A = this chain, B = another copy of it.
Amino acid sequence: MSIEHMEQMETLLPEWLETSRLRTGQGEVASYIPELAKAARDTLGVFVADSQGKTIAAGDYGIPFTMQSISKVFTLILALMDHGEEAVFYNVGKEPTGDDFNSMIKLELVEPGIPFNPLINAGAITVSSLIAGDSPEDKSQRILQFFRKLAGNDGLDYNMDVYHSELETGDLNRSLAYFLKQNGVLKDPVEDVLSVYFKHCSIEVNCADLSRMALVLAFDGVDPCNGEKLIPRRYVQIAKTFMVTCGMYNASGEFAIDVGIPAKSGVSGGILALVPGQYGIGVVGPSLNSKGNSTAGVHLLERLSKEFSWSLF
A residues bordering B, Cβ < 8 Å?
93-99, 103-106, 108-109, 116-117, 171-172, 174-179, 181-182, 190, 237-238, 240-242, 244-246, 250-254, 256-257, 260, 262, 276, 311-313
Contact = CB atoms under 8 A, between A and B. Distances in A.
Contacts of A250: 95
B245 A253 contact: yes
Contacts of A106: 98
Contacts of A182: 171-172, 175
A174 B244 CA distance: 33
A242 B313 CA distance: 10
A155 to B, nearest CB: 31
Per CB-CB distance, the 3 closest pairs between chain A and chain B, nearest first, are A96-B96, A175-B178, A95-B253
Nearest to A169: B182
A257 to B, nearest CB: 5
A272 to B, nearest CB: 15
A60 to B, nearest CB: 30
Contacts of A311: 237, 241
A242 to B, nearest CB: 7
A94 B312 contact: no
Nearest to A236: B313
Given A95-B250, A95-B251, A109-B105, A244 B262 contact: no
How many identical chains are in the complex? 4
A113 to B, nearest CB: 11
A95 B98 contact: yes
B256 A241 contact: yes
Given A105-B105, A178-B174, A242 B257 contact: yes
A93 B313 contact: no
A3 to B, nearest CB: 23
A273 to B, nearest CB: 14
A285 B238 CA distance: 27
Given A94-B254, A94-B256, A97-B98, 10 more contacts: A95-B96, A95-B252, A96-B97, A171-B182, A172-B182, A174-B178, A237-B257, A241-B257, A244-B313, A245-B256
A104 B108 contact: yes
Nearest to A250: B95
Given A98-B116, A178-B174, A179-B171, A241 B260 contact: yes
A93 B253 contact: yes
B108 A313 contact: no
13 contacts: A93-B254, A97-B98, A104-B108, A105-B108, A174-B174, A175-B177, A175-B178, A241-B253, A241-B260, A242-B257, A244-B313, A245-B245, A262-B313
Contacts of A244: 244-245, 256, 313
A165 B241 CA distance: 38
